Amino acid sequence: MARPSPRIEIAHEALRQAIIEQALKPGTKLPEDVIGEQFAMSRTLVRAVLAKLEAEGLVDANPKRTATVAQPTLAEARDVFEVRRALEAEAVRLVAKRWQPAFADELDSLLRQEDEARARQDERVSIHLAGEFHLRLAQLSGNALLERYLRELITRCSLILAVFGRPHSSDCAIEEHSALITALRAGDADGAVAIMHSHLGAVERRALLGGDDEKPAALGDVLSHYAAAVTARQTTKPSKTANQK
Amino acid sequence: MARPSPRIEIAHEALRQAIIEQALKPGTKLPEDVIGEQFAMSRTLVRAVLAKLEAEGLVDANPKRTATVAQPTLAEARDVFEVRRALEAEAVRLVAKRWQPAFADELDSLLRQEDEARARQDERVSIHLAGEFHLRLAQLSGNALLERYLRELITRCSLILAVFGRPHSSDCAIEEHSALITALRAGDADGAVAIMHSHLGAVERRALLGGDDEKPAALGDVLSHYAAAVTARQTTKPSKTANQK
DNA sequence: TCTGCAATTTCTGTATACTAATTTAGCTGC
DNA sequence: GCAGCTAAATTAGTATACAGAAATTGCAGA
């Protein structure tokens, strides 16, 4: 595993959290020196952090311009969900294969927390725990690489939800997680895989709001539409949304 | 996509090639300044290159010690193959779904090249083309993320072969690739997936079977070869081949 | 000859300086 | 007022300097 320097890791984690919690909105500029100032580190280290975030698909970074919080396109979102479905099905398959009763307790515990958070309308915690459930499942697969990939995919899904999802959609239904545990506990591997498949299908549908047809849900597209009515000169780079300076 | 600087990309590609072609053996130390000298760049850039290679699992990098060409453990090798199997099955599924006759020509062409290289004992090209076939398949899936992941996995498999495989075994059997094309052409999606599954099972068995032998190589010599394209454009200064043990 | 410690040489970690490109702000003339 | 140009301010690209940790070497004592 990579542990180049704790400081890099700290900043990386902090920024990742800020992005997936939507404290930093997609499109927000991330100048190196501003970040460096915040975390009391030089641009050299900030650069490493941004490189990691870019590799994870959480920031867009073009050659000579300021990095920004990523704005996934609809096509990218589809790709992410497609790969996630395949890998998470595999994860369930592996978990079923090496199933132990203790696993059920683990997952049940997460489920209960999730339920409570949902009950008290704590959206931030709720969203976080929904991801946590899937991540824990990946860990239980016993395949470290699979876990790494799924962590990345689950994180990106959070970002996708921020761009395409409607404001108050919770991405995971508790009953679906519950059904999965039941199937696993019963030793029904194929059933569990099927449940995960349909569950992720449902998550994707909830997240993307539309079918597989092209849908102009991107913030930039919407804004450019409105901007076009006012001034018909900005055709290429319309997204000039909130950023802090 | 990331294109921070062509120079970084060039060095990255060169090192990756050197590693998967086993010109740099697993465990070989990769000091930043030696590499920087070879590619005529400062350690700052070398660092970025090494970070990328580490993220791909091609080099091991611990906090305060010199990076080395990765030496995958057996457990890691298993994980890589497991994930690769899952993703490559998905890729085949997708390719089958959007199948077009032109795809067959593409793949056939690669297969033919592969066959020729095999016939004339050109091992370097042969190994490269075997990977290329799988990579092309991933591209035809139309899912860019899946392609990225598979590129990484296929590359790592080459490295795994270097560590665990017998010295010069070719990892893919041509007939298996051929059978896959036949199934796809016939529109037999499930059959194609099954073939891919068993094919990768065979690849894994071949890869994880067998012993290893030792062969020393001077880092400077190897790199000067791979960096030739780069240094040619630089000032014609006598590149001193650093002593490596 | 072997072992352990100290001196020394290699390296990496990180900040900073300097350059070049990109964006922004001001102009100027239509 | 608006298009287009130029100057000024931001901001990324890259090299380099320097501090400090690891590896290596050399030497003394057993």
For chain B, domain boundaries: 6-71+214-233, 74-207
Tokens of B229: 């394209």
Distances in Å between the alpha carbon of B211 and those of B24, B59, B77, B163, B214?
18, 21, 15, 8, 10
Point out the nucleotide closest to A64 (alpha carbon to C1′): D12
% of chain B beyond a pLDDT of 70:
81
CB contact under 8 A, A54 and B2: yes
CB contact under 8 A, B145 and A79: yes
3-class secondary structure, B112: helix
Beta strands in chain A (DSSP E): 29-30, 59-60, 67-69
Residue A33 Cβ < 7 Å to strand C:
no
The overall pTM is greater than 0.75: yes
Point out the nucleotide closest to B64 (alpha carbon to C1′): C12
pLDDT at residue number B167: 61
Q: What is A6-69's CATH number, 3.30.70.1520, 3.50.50.60, 3.90.1150.10, 1.10.10.10? A: 1.10.10.10
Tokens of B25: 């053996």
**Nearest CA-CA partner of A11 in A58, A56, A60, A45:** A45
pLDDT at residue number A76: 96
CB contact under 8 A, A145 and B80: yes
**Residue A118 and residue A129 in contact, taking contact as beta carbons nearer than 8 Å:** no
Chain A: closest CA distance from residue B12 (Å): 14
Distances in Å between the alpha carbon of B196 and those of B92, B158, B192, B244?
8, 18, 6, 42
Does position B233 have pLDDT exceeding 70, yes or no? no
CATH class of B74-207: mainly alpha
CB contact under 8 A, B83 and A143: yes
In this prediction, residue B169 has a pLDDT band, given cuts at 50, 70 and 90, of low
In this prediction, residue B210 has a pLDDT band, given cuts at 50, 70 and 90, of low
How far apart are alpha carbons B7 and B19 in whole angstroms? 18
pLDDT at residue number A169: 60
**Residue B133 and residue B114 in contact, taking contact as beta carbons nearer than 8 Å:** yes
Indicate the residue of B48, B63, B83 with minimum beta-carbon distance to A149.
B83
| Phi, psi (deg, nearest 5) at residue A235 | -100, -30
Residue B216 Cβ < 7 Å to strand C:
no
Query: What's the mean per-residue pLDDT of chain B?
Result: 86
At B81-137, the pLDDT tens digits run: 999 999 999 999 999 999 999 999 999 999 999 999 988 988 888 888 989 999 999
Q: What Å value separates CA B59 and C1' C5? A: 34
**Residue B152 and residue B56 in contact, taking contact as beta carbons nearer than 8 Å:** yes
**Residue A170 and residue A129 in contact, taking contact as beta carbons nearer than 8 Å:** no
In this prediction, residue B216 has a pLDDT band, given cuts at 50, 70 and 90, of very low
Q: What is A74-208's CATH number, 3.30.70.260, 1.20.120.530, 1.10.8.50, 3.40.1030.10? A: 1.20.120.530
At B145-160, the pLDDT tens digits run: 999 999 999 999 999 9
At B36-68, the pLDDT tens digits run: 999 999 999 999 999 999 999 999 999 999 999
CB contact under 8 A, B83 and A79: no
Which residues, other chains included, contact B153 with Cβ-Cβ below 8 Å and sequence gap of 6+? B80, B83, B84, B87
Tens-digit pLDDT string for chain A (245 aa): 444 568 999 999 999 999 988 889 999 999 999 999 999 999 999 999 999 999 999 999 999 999 999 999 999 999 999 999 999 999 999 999 999 999 999 999 999 999 899 889 887 888 889 899 999 999 999 999 999 999 999 999 999 988 887 665 666 788 999 999 999 999 999 999 999 999 999 888 888 864 443 333 333 333 333 333 333 333 333 333 333 33
Point out the nucleotide closest to B63 (alpha carbon to C1′): C12
How far apart are alpha carbons B158 and B20 in whole angstroms? 6
% of chain B beyond a pLDDT of 90:
67
How far apart are alpha carbons B176 and B188 in whole angstroms? 15
Q: Could you tell me if B65 lies within 8 Å of chain A, comparing CB atoms?
A: no
**Residue A218 and residue A163 in contact, taking contact as beta carbons nearer than 8 Å:** yes
pLDDT at residue number A79: 98
Nucleotides of C under 7 A from a protein CB: 10-17, 21-23
pLDDT at residue number A208: 83
Q: What Å value separates CA B22 and C1' C17? A: 40
Indicate the residue of B3, B54, B144 with minimum beta-carbon distance to A79.
B144
* CATH architecture group of domain B6-71+214-233: Orthogonal Bundle (1.10)
Chain A: closest CA distance from residue B169 (Å): 25
Residue A47 Cβ < 7 Å to strand D:
yes
In this prediction, residue B227 has a pLDDT band, given cuts at 50, 70 and 90, of low
Q: Could you tell me if B102 lies within 8 Å of chain A, comparing CB atoms?
A: no
What angle, rounded to 10 degrees, do the helices at B74-97 and B144-164 form? 140
Indicate the residue of A4, A76, A145 with minimum beta-carbon distance to B79.
A145
pLDDT at residue number B212: 43
Does position B220 have pLDDT exceeding 50, yes or no? yes
pLDDT at residue number B130: 87
pLDDT at residue number B100: 97
**Residue A225 and residue A235 in contact, taking contact as beta carbons nearer than 8 Å:** no
List CB contacts (< 8 A) between B48 and chain A: 47-48, 51
pLDDT at residue number B170: 64
Chain A: closest CA distance from residue B183 (Å): 21
How far apart are alpha carbons B38 and B8 in whole angstroms? 13
At B178-188, the pLDDT tens digits run: 999 999 999 99
3-class secondary structure, B59: strand
Chain A: closest CA distance from residue B168 (Å): 27
Return the ∠ at Cα B168 (arms to B135 and B221), rounded to 5°.
90
